[in-house]
Chain A
Amino acid sequence: MDMKEKMPITPTTPVTPSAAIPAAAHREAPSFADDAEPDMTDSAPRIDVSHQPNIEEASVPDLDTGRDPKMRADEVSVFYGEKQALKDVSIKIYDDLVTAFIGPSGCGKSTFLRCLNRMNDTIPTARVTGRIALDDEDITSSSMDVVQLRARVGMVFQKPNPFPKSIFENVAYGPRIHGLATNKVELQEIVEKSLRRAGLWEEVKDRLQESGTALSGGQQQRLCIARAIAVDPEVILMDEPCSALDPIATAKIEELIHELRGRYAIAIVTHNMQQAARVSQRTAFFHLGELVEYGKTSEIFTNPRMQRTTDYITGRYG
């Protein structure tokens, strides 16, 4: 492992003291989730750009050549009516990595995330161009079965949105509509397994019939995660999953993301840079609808190549 990745943040790096990680929020979490990164990525060539932070033309380096990405987007643009919200975004998302999307408000993070499971279809004015592939299968084509796609690419929203049904029914919802269980016992097994994976089982196992909306905010969000993994997706998209939660609930979700990593490809939008640093191995910085910089999380936060990234990370705007 590269020593640089294990280095703690020093004052000379672009991360300001205000961006320092609060100790309480992640007692056990390492400064950079990269520590546990699989070895295979280390063989990737690394461009040394640490001393030239201002070259705006630098192309996004492909860190992970030789591996097949779980999802890849090529030249994706999104228009809401006449207005363009995303410009030619190309990115790859890998199976065993957490990819964080950061950027100032309105830069198109949610828009891009919603392209990945075609949730933009639900907005009548939205139009998507470019190519997005899941395991080399083009998901933007009209022959793609959206229902099937969304079962493979799950989503967790910014505000916890459990259905006004019992906890059990919330988790059983997806398996039921996709026919994943042939009988009640199987269904119960799926529900229990999903709740365990979401770290909620111990808290709710005695009250599965109570309404999902009666849980606390953090529990509701973990219930939504359980609901998403109950259909055994390949990718999980999370749009600011902790923005409505307190620090302790946030820490629990972050821990959960650590545990889910490796089993699912995870893409997470966050406004919280410490959070991106804690949970992700890859970070993509968006600005004004463009993908400005994409790279290893540790490098984005310690050695950004673009002036705009530096400005954002040091809190000069956003």
Chain B
Amino acid sequence: MSLGLAFVAILAVALAAAWLGYARARRLRASSGSRLHSLPVYHGAHAALWAAIPALLLIAAWAPMQSRLVDQTVLSSPEGKALPAFEMQRESILSEAREIAHGDREAGFNPESTTLAPRIRAAEQRYALFGGLIAIAVALATAAFAVRRSNPQFRARTGVERWVMGLLFAASLIAILTTLGILLSLMFESLRFFRLYPVQSFLFGLEWSPQTALRADQAGSSGAFGSVPLMWGTFFIGAIIAMVVAVPLGLMSAIYLTQYAHARVRAWLKPILEILAGIPTVVYGYFAALTVAPAVRDFGLAIGVSSASSESALAAGSVMGVMIIPFVSSMSDDSIAAVPQAMRDGSLAMGATKSETIRKVLLPAALPGVMGGILLAVSRAIGETMIVVMAAGLAANLTANPFASVTTVTTQIVQLLTGDQEFDSAKTLAAFALGLALFLITLLLNLIALHIVRKYQEQYE
């Protein structure tokens, strides 16, 4: 018996409980002749929820426990004791044996795994039977408990409400816990990095050259992990160049669409603008690398910038800016639309023209919302990866020349983690420290942006 089977059985018990609860409530209604507190449907749902949820939670908790117990049992068996002591070797034999036990492969590369397989299968079956039976027993017990509780006064409806609330709470908790988990794992790996490399040198160092030596006596064996050039490059591309492109264009298109465009024009233009948001970033990436970057380089050379590179901050930043336009424009659209019509009328009735009204009344009133939108856009831009990986280059230059090549945090994370890497070298661990820094920066930006937007929304309520 597998846990999957137990899962199905529990669902069957829950169905049965639902039917029993429902039927019993109907009978109660017929026999007592009085009105029930809750409709029979609620009695059924109440019983089903009681039958299913505790037992399913039990299975969910049992599953990871079971695999640990299986490993323990197998390793303490004679065959297990015979395994090599080196952990990595032992792990690979064990995982081979597991695959054979589950029928995913015929025979192992290591002879030991074939002999281990039946052991694993036996242990798994034993524990699954144990866990599964307990879970089913729990389901039956809770179902009986719930069905027997129903009487005409029983508040099944409130009970169901509580379960529903619990479910919704659990759902929202999962997202929060995942975020927390990501943060914790990033922090854990970053701490390992900071044991190898001092925090202040990482935060304030001006040099980034993550090459570590293959041999201990090689020249330049100690890499430099100063993150400032990466942070600058990220900021330069995502927060300066991209925003110089996206903010005016996004804002102006929002103003045109909300204030000037005829309904028919708007019906056409808005979806087209939104298509921009649906283009995969990798497509933007090769557009930036193959079309925009050479054009930017030629333009740079033509106006006499001899350092113009084919991987320029300007190419990556401007394409990223175009990608962000729909984002900025829809946020601005919302905040401009949120300014009450009375403001607009007030200004127009004073004899202001449309553009005076927009400049002097609508935009100032919408500014906090627009600012919030821009901050959200910045946080998206600095976390964006594909475009910069393909178009921004790898040289960690600390320069404000838009025709030169700069690199970004995300580009370097990709560089550090692709290819064959040891998982405990400073070079690999640096990726986690960069990830953590990026995560914290975008988190901060989002918090500020949300705060601004919320405060702004209260203004007109």
Contact = CB atoms under 8 A, between A and B. Distances in A.
A231 B346 CA distance: 14
B76 interface: no
A159 B348 contact: no
Contacts of B347: 163, 173
A225 interface: no
A177 B352 contact: yes
A155 interface: yes
A147 B344 CA distance: 14
B360 interface: yes
A173 B349 contact: no
B34 interface: no
Interface in B432-461: 459
Given A163-B365, A177-B360, A231 B348 contact: no
B342 A119 contact: no
Contacts of B298: none
B365 A151 contact: no
B340 A177 contact: no
Contact of A155 (B349, B356, B361): B349
B65 interface: no
Contacts of B348: 119, 122, 150
Most buried by A among B350, B353, B361: B350
Given A163-B361, A164-B459, A165-B364, A231 B350 contact: yes
Given A163-B343, A177-B360, A150 B350 contact: yes
B214 interface: no
Given A164-B365, A177-B356, A178-B351, A124 B263 contact: yes
Interface string A137-168: 00000000001111100110101011111000
A281 interface: no
B345 interface: yes
Contact of B351 (A124, A147, A224): A147
Contacts of A178: 351
Contacts of A119: 345, 348-349
A137 B365 CA distance: 36
A165 B459 CA distance: 13
Contacts of B352: 147, 173-174, 177
B349 A117 contact: yes
Contacts of A159: 342
A231 B361 contact: no
A154 B348 CA distance: 10
A227 interface: yes
B345 A122 contact: yes
Interface string A63-85: 00000000000000000000000
A228 interface: yes
Interface in B69-119: none
Most buried by B among A150, A151, A159, A228: A150
Contact of A177 (B345, B351, B459): B351
A161 B342 contact: yes
Nearest to B356: A177
Interface residues of A, number: 26
A122 B344 CA distance: 10
Interface string A220-233: 00001001100100
Interface residues of B, number: 20
Nearest to A122: B348
A150 B345 CA distance: 11
Interface in B340-391: 340, 342-353, 356, 360-361, 364-365
Contacts of B351: 147-151, 174, 177-178, 231
Nearest to A169: B360
Contacts of B349: 117, 119, 150, 154-155, 157, 228
Nearest to A150: B351
A155 B346 CA distance: 8
Contacts of A149: 351
A179 B349 CA distance: 16
A207 B343 CA distance: 22
A157 B356 CA distance: 20
Interface in B14-35: none
A266 to B, nearest CB: 15
Contacts of B353: 147
Interface in B305-363: 340, 342-353, 356, 360-361
B371 to A, nearest CB: 15
A164 to B, nearest CB: 5
A224 B263 CA distance: 32
Interface string A253-296: 00000000000000000000000000000000000000000000
Contacts of B350: 150-151, 154, 173-174, 177, 227-228, 231
A313 B332 CA distance: 48
Interface in B127-151: none
Most buried by A among B346, B348, B351, B352: B351
Nearest to B353: A147
B361 to A, nearest CB: 6
Contacts of A165: 364
Contacts of A228: 349-350
Contacts of B364: 164-165
Nearest to B340: A161
B337 to A, nearest CB: 15
Contacts of A224: 346
Contacts of A227: 346, 350
A149 B351 CA distance: 7
Contacts of B344: 122
A155 B348 CA distance: 10
Interface string B246-275: 000000000000000001000000000000
B53 to A, nearest CB: 51
Closest 5 A-B residue pairs measured CB to CB? A151-B351, A150-B351, A161-B342, A155-B349, A161-B346
11 contacts: A122-B345, A147-B353, A161-B343, A161-B346, A163-B347, A174-B350, A174-B351, A177-B351, A224-B346, A228-B349, A231-B351
Given A122-B348, A157-B346, A164-B343, 20 more contacts: A119-B345, A119-B349, A122-B345, A124-B263, A147-B352, A149-B351, A150-B349, A150-B350, A154-B349, A155-B349, A157-B345, A157-B349, A161-B343, A161-B345, A163-B361, A173-B350, A177-B356, A228-B350, A231-B350, A231-B351
Interface of B: 263, 340, 342-353, 356, 360-361, 364-365, 459
